[in-house]
Structure 1
């Protein structure tokens, strides 16, 4: 029997795309909010005896967490044989150490919460830095899928003369993988962060770029400060407007407007629903779910 795909509100298009690719059978989850702010969840499918995949990308995670946990717990109470989380974007990976006294190490706490309520996790390119593998913090099987083939194919089709540029050492893993799939060169720069929005990027490390179109690549764009600083620096050096690619687009529309003005292309996957999403992660996830179902 196919797994039952239960999308949390807002994730229905991905669940329907997965079902169309024969990766499961799509159901529905209803979340109703009462005037006092509490919510009521209802699973609109028979989960008894079924393996369940709850689909929920975790951008803006705080308001999503209670409904998500209610869905997992309810599915289990109603007889689901397995409850797995499919979260194309996995939140709370950046705060992986205690930077200041008294701070929560959010990455570990969030991992503990999800591990207590799900049997397994599937995600795409989580922001791994000091945590090198999800198994270091998650107590359940956690599968990481890579979006590099999607980004590489986009670059090869739209910017064949590209040179890929990562803004810092954290981006190196994604930039090198995308460059390999696109068959183009790449470079990684050094960044100094002064806050949530202010950064300095050393451009001295740029290789010769004559005849190449710079393509900025990172796993996450949220405030846009890094990409805007890098784009401005490249334009000052006479390299023109770069393209800008991300796996996960977390930035608001106001930032998107500034990025569009500073770049020739602004593209991301649809791991997070976003106006700049041009690459579907559904085939990537569907291939994994179907492979897992056969084992």
Structure 2
């Protein structure tokens, strides 16, 4: 064992909640430490109880927990684990939230509605987190909701590598944003892949329901990649894929960081014109992979593990994406 590994085992503990056990194990393997000893249980009435099973006094502690379905249970579990570490005199407490739930509630869309993303930020700070790390926020401005340091990771290199392995890129490929809000993200991918860009004009009449009105750009005869930060019910994605094919595309793929895949998403993907859909394991996908042969899951473990090492040693996070 190297001196660095001895140092990490002594000064880093990585704990995982019930939301991402497999991802936590992968991250620990990359970092070179064991999964932190903790026990999460429930009282008969459903209350969550957390017990930390090792000495964390002065130790940099990292909690890996996506606030995916069931979001309220996973969020509360993480808050209680943060509180337990704070009361055990942990050195730093870093909340690693690969998928930041409630991120779509980042502003008031109607009178008398909440900004729940800000509430979640306040809860994490109040519980005792000293730093938060997340991957591909739905809106980058959410970083400003935090009064503690926030590190924002991007799954772009992971998805880009998957696209290149599929032979995508160059003049015969076009990156398509499924709505105007995702144009900046799609433009970044088109630059990386050295290909053209198209944008879909989408109108949303109610939550989880959207309609395609126009397609801006040339997709005829090209292999199209639909890029988004998340796939929830897959209505937007499947409608966009059909519109792209109707405009003469040769083949349509899709890539997204977060595969929420709720409600009818799997059925829609299976019935869609999409050839393949890539998501990452910010949200566990084992059951959904078995139900959807088009789905391919990419791991963010090495990316998050490298970020943990850099946070611990005080190195730059942004240089990961230079």
2:73 maps to: 63
Matches within 5 A, 1:190-229: 190-210=201-221, 212-229=222-239
2:50 maps to: 41
* Structure 1: distance between partners of 2:33 and 2:103: 28
Matches within 5 A, 1:282-293: 282-293=301-312
Runs of 4+ displaced beyond 4 Å: none
* Residues 4, 193 of structure 1: alpha-carbon distance in 2 compared, 3 angstrom cutoff: same
5+ long unaligned stretches in structure 1: none
Structure 1 counterpart SS, 2:279: strand
* Residues 292, 204 of structure 1: alpha-carbon distance in 2 compared, 3 angstrom cutoff: closer
1:147 is aligned to 2:158: no
1:96 is aligned to 2:115: no
Aligned residues: 291
1:120 to 124, 131, 144: 131
* Residues 235, 47 of structure 1: alpha-carbon distance in 2 compared, 3 angstrom cutoff: same
1:177 to 169, 185, 188: 188
* Residues 191, 15 of structure 1: alpha-carbon distance in 2 compared, 3 angstrom cutoff: same
Contact 1:5–1:54 under 8 Å retained in 2: yes
User: Following TM superposition, by how much is the alpha carbon of 1:240 offset from its aligned partner in structure 2, in angstroms?
Assistant: 4.9
* Residues 196, 24 of structure 1: alpha-carbon distance in 2 compared, 3 angstrom cutoff: same
Under a length normalisation based on structure 1, what TM-score does the superposition of the two structures give? 0.91
2:299 maps to: 280
Contact 2:200–2:240 under 8 Å retained in 1: no
CA RMSD in angstroms comes to: 1.9
Structure 2 counterpart SS, 1:26: coil
Under a length normalisation based on structure 2, what TM-score does the superposition of the two structures give? 0.84
* Structure 2: distance between partners of 1:67 and 1:143: 21
Moved more, 275-284 or 264-273: 275-284
User: Following TM superposition, by how much is the alpha carbon of 1:277 offset from its aligned partner in structure 2, in angstroms?
Assistant: 4.8
Moved more, 231-240 or 5-14: 231-240
Moved more, 168-177 or 197-206: 197-206
1:167 maps to: 178
2:89 to 68, 79, 95: 79
2:3 maps to: none
User: Following TM superposition, by how much is the alpha carbon of 1:82 offset from its aligned partner in structure 2, in angstroms?
Assistant: 1.0
Contact 1:84–1:121 under 8 Å retained in 2: yes
5+ long unaligned stretches in structure 2: 1-6, 290-294, 315-322
